[in-house]
Structure 1
Amino acid sequence: MTGAGVEAPVGVVGVRAAYPGDVAAVAEIQVRAWREGYPGVIPEAALAEMTAPEAVALWRDRWTEAVAAPPSPRHRLLVAVDEGVITGFAAHAPAGDPDQDPQTTGELLTLLVDPAHGRAGHGSRLLAATVDHLREDGCTTAVAWVFAADDVLRGFLSSAGWAPDGAHSKVDMGEPVAMVRLHTALV
């Protein structure tokens, strides 16, 4: 990882904290990853709305706020970098569910890799960096809500030792979409 405000030199592959100048790439990766990875996972109309050209500006605004004014020092946006190019990102924070202790449980909010850079270890590096930060913050457990039909992310997290903890939810995306919460021990 490189320090805040320092660009990763070309040739370096790794993960670092996101800078304000990264948010355009993060928003574009989010839209590309959702377009490619979420057909059949979330309703078509919701996916179209969340990946429309206008959506990129909304995501850019949200990620700008996450970088410039996070709600706490434990809210972080990380980016994967390869040869000076942002290839993916992950966001994490203290757990927000009422049955979780935010002092000891962190939440992986999102982890997305640009489809053009998939299967190159960027997701694994982002997950490892997220876990490292959560441990540094004193977390002993991590949770993540994933779409029940997202076999790719569930499979990825399962291969890293995450498992369902029994919590289920539905999110309204024009129709109810099932979610499942995964967890893992960080000790």
Structure 2
Amino acid sequence: MPEAAVRAAVPEDAPEIARIQLVTWRTAYADLLGEQALAELETTAEQQWAEAIAHPATTVYVATEGVHTVGFCVAGPAPEEEVASASGELPEDAGRTGLIATILVEPRWGRRGHGGRLLHSAAQGLRRQQKDRGISWVAESDSASLSFFRRAGWRPDGTVRTLDTGERRLREVRLTGQLDIELVG
């Protein structure tokens, strides 16, 4: 197997990140999101990823295998509205909480440890920012992602939200866990 690695994204990565997101969403989430959301993604994703890469408070990571970019992750400080309870109250550790906004690995590169390496790198980056707990939102029906985070020791904290994709309503659960993640194997 060619060498696998994770690095911070650069502006030139935006088109490939957008491509991976579109392929992965079409493969894994088409039924959850609907065609309208996927069509909108086609026209906006590359620009959105260029903006995310340039954003000073977040880091976009890319997973590579040999010369191929195979996945990505974005992490940064958790905004108050993301870490607050359903009633709007902030936990004591709100300022020390990071957000893993997304982790996606293109399906054909799955089951090769790329997701774990991305999560580990993002957690290390958040720890360097003085964060000691992380959160992430995952579709309630996405058993693969829920299982991935559970293996990392992250659990639902009881908070849910519903997103409107224009065609469907997507229910997400908030997961939380420590950032002292160790890679195994």
Same fold (TM over 0.5): yes
| CA deviations over 1:76-125 (Å, ceiling 9, x no partner) | 10000111110000001211223355530001000000112111111111
In 1, Cα distance between the equivalents of 2:164 and 2:59?
A: 26
Tell me how many residue pairs correspond in the alignment. Answer: 169
In 1, Cα distance between the equivalents of 2:33 and 2:15?
A: 25
Residue 162 of structure 1: aligned partner: 154
**The residue matched to 2:111 in structure 1 has which SS?**
coil
Alpha-carbon deviation of 1:36?
A: 0.9
Q: Is the 8 A contact 2:72 2:103 kept in 1?
A: yes
Alpha-carbon deviation of 1:12?
A: 3.5
Residue 51 of structure 1: aligned partner: 38
**The residue matched to 1:177 in structure 2 has which SS?**
strand
AA in 1 matched with 2:165: M
Residue 86 of structure 1: aligned partner: 69
Q: Is the 8 A contact 2:37 2:165 kept in 1?
A: no
**The residue matched to 2:12 in structure 1 has which SS?**
helix
Residue 67 of structure 1: aligned partner: 53
**The residue matched to 2:95 in structure 1 has which SS?**
coil
Give 5+ residue unaligned stretches, structure 1. 1-10
Q: Is the 8 A contact 1:94 1:102 kept in 2?
A: no
| CA deviations over 1:39-70 (Å, ceiling 9, x no partner) | 44x143xxx23333x633410000111112x0
More helix by share: 2
Q: Is the 8 A contact 1:14 1:80 kept in 2?
A: yes
In 2, Cα distance between the equivalents of 1:106 and 1:84?
A: 30
Q: Is the 8 A contact 1:164 1:182 kept in 2?
A: yes
| CA deviations over 1:22-52 (Å, ceiling 9, x no partner) | 1111000000111111144x143xxx23333
How much identity, in percent, do the aligned residues show? Answer: 34
Give 5+ residue unaligned stretches, structure 2. 85-89, 181-185
Residue 19 of structure 2: aligned partner: 28
Residue 12 of structure 1: aligned partner: 3
Q: Is the 8 A contact 1:170 1:179 kept in 2?
A: yes
Say whether residues 1:178 and 2:165 are aligned partners: no
